[in-house]
Amino acid sequence: MLEIEQKYACADLSAVEARLRALGAAGPDAHDEADHYFNAPDRDFARTGEAFRLRRVGPKNFFTFKGPRQKAAVKVRRELEIALPDGDHAAAEHMELLQLLGYRPVGVVRKRRRSYRLAGETVPVTVCLDEVAGLGTFAEVEAIATPEQAATVAQALTGLARELGLTRVEPRAYLTMMLEAGAGAGSGEAGPVLAGSIAELRQALAEARRKRVTIGLVPTMGALHEGHLSLIRAAQRANDFVVVTIFVNPTQFGPSEDLTRYPRPFDDDVQKCAAAGVHLIFHPSEDEMYPPGYRAFVEVKGLQDAFEGASRPGHFRGVATVVLKLFNLVRPDRAYFGQKDAQQVRIIQKMVADLNVPVEVIVCPTVREADGLALSSRNRYLDAESRGRAVALHQALSEAAELYRAGGRDAEALKQAMAARIQATLGAVLDYAAVIDAETFQPADAARPGVVLALAVKFGATRLIDNLTLGDAR
């Protein structure tokens, strides 16, 4: 069967309703509808003119597929509607199924619909009066007909619309109107698009680029906390479209490090991204990022070898490589990193400058617990005792900064003060305490504004890092 319909913008639905009653229309049936639209993994419905949605009408759920429009004055297209089990659970399960199959949510159209039925000359006709959230009020005249009936029915619908006083044809689908109004793909309502493969990522980004939006990228390894969320919020403020990547990058972990036990609470991360209004989550597998035979690595010589690089050989080679890959894949306008990882920031800035990567690197301040401990995905490894003692990192940095404020300029003295504080902390094993030139990431000869105080400390198997920049220490 074919769906034949025409939509009209209509400021005064009550006038149309009065005319419908005068024509003896039955109704209205009134209900709220939420149409969750999806795009296909193998083709772009926006290009093909197809549509696929899960429609929720009260407790009732339906899949609706609409084929490409046929050339006609009114819209004529193949429509297939399949009833699904009732209820929220069934709706959620079917949406999950779609996402598992690679379908991506692109937007939700919510409307209050009052529909009237008329006998019609050839087939029954429905007139729907819609109040669409965010878009306004519209009337749709529609009928279901065989291909043979299509031309006659289309003509009859046009005549009926004229009789009802409907003149302002609206050719666009509600979803199109919503996307054009900028409330579409990945708006907080629709939830983030999940892309597990590079192909899916590219497809989702192509949609964003078509709308000429600015893109903000927040690379993470997941296990998201307020530190990550502060980057996401900064990205939201300055960009139209925010991409979060969740990838525990194996090339930045040493052989004896915590790659396999690194936390991966993926569902929780997706929830947090959804609540923060993230538009797209890229969560590739290791094979997707490093397929068999992978060979190319990025090194930022000199900056990558000291401090974190000395304690974790190869770490920054892995970081620079994955970040450049993400830059190339997402091509963001801006990318957000935390000052918490000061050496990482410096290395990424240098890589971007030296390799002419067209991205603006934005550095966000370290987010801390109330007692000063810098938030970290690794904090969850700490038992209650170590968690209490871990505040020593921030205390040591603050005390050294206090010495500096009091006039101390001797880098060695500041370093010794930090080391002494850590060594006096039960269960803490100092990896390094350092006073660092922020430009070269070599030991600074003297304390001065912009110099970085940095610490790496182990509590059992858990290694924590923190830093503070002189001059902006409070």
Q: Tell me how far CA of residue 247 lies from CA of 31, 218, 242, 274, 347, in angstroms.
A: 43, 11, 16, 17, 19
Closest residue (Cβ) to ligand AMP? 338
Q: 225 an active-site residue?
A: no
Selected catalytic residue, list 228, 279, 315, 394:
228
- Selection from 177, 40, 36 nearest residue 104 by Cα: 40
230 binds ligand AMP (CB under 6 A): yes
340 binds ligand AMP (CB under 6 A): yes
338 binds ligand AMP (CB under 6 A): yes
User: What track of x and - describes contact with ligand AMP for positions 112 through 131 (by CB under 6 A)?
Assistant: --------------------
Spatial distance between the Cα atoms of 434 and 286, rounded to a whole number of angstroms: 34
DSSP, collapsed to helix, strand or coil, labels residue 37 as strand
337 binds ligand AMP (CB under 6 A): yes
Least distance CB 345 / ligand AMP (angstroms): 7
Q: What is the DSSP letter of 261?
A: T
284 binds ligand AMP (CB under 6 A): no
Spatial distance between the Cα atoms of 386 and 379, rounded to a whole number of angstroms: 9
66 binds ligand AMP (CB under 6 A): no
- Selection from 223, 301, 428, 473 nearest residue 455 by Cα: 428
Spatial distance between the Cα atoms of 28 and 400, rounded to a whole number of angstroms: 75
Spatial distance between the Cα atoms of 40 and 49, rounded to a whole number of angstroms: 12
Q: Of 185 and 392, which CB lies nearer to ligand AMP in the complex structure?
A: 392
Quick one: which of 187, 220, 321, 469 contacts ligand AMP (CB under 6 A)?
220
252 binds ligand AMP (CB under 6 A): no
Q: Of 220 and 425, which CB lies nearer to ligand AMP in the complex structure?
A: 220
308 binds ligand AMP (CB under 6 A): no
Residues 72-101 that bind ligand AMP (CB under 6 A): none
Least distance CB 348 / ligand AMP (angstroms): 9
375 binds ligand AMP (CB under 6 A): yes
Q: For the residues of 438-458, what is the DSSP string, one character each?
A: TTT-SB-SB--TTPEEEEEEE
Spatial distance between the Cα atoms of 144 and 76, rounded to a whole number of angstroms: 9
Interface with ligand AMP (CB under 6 A): 220-221, 227-228, 230-231, 337-338, 340-341, 364, 366-367, 374-377
> Catalytic positions, please?
228
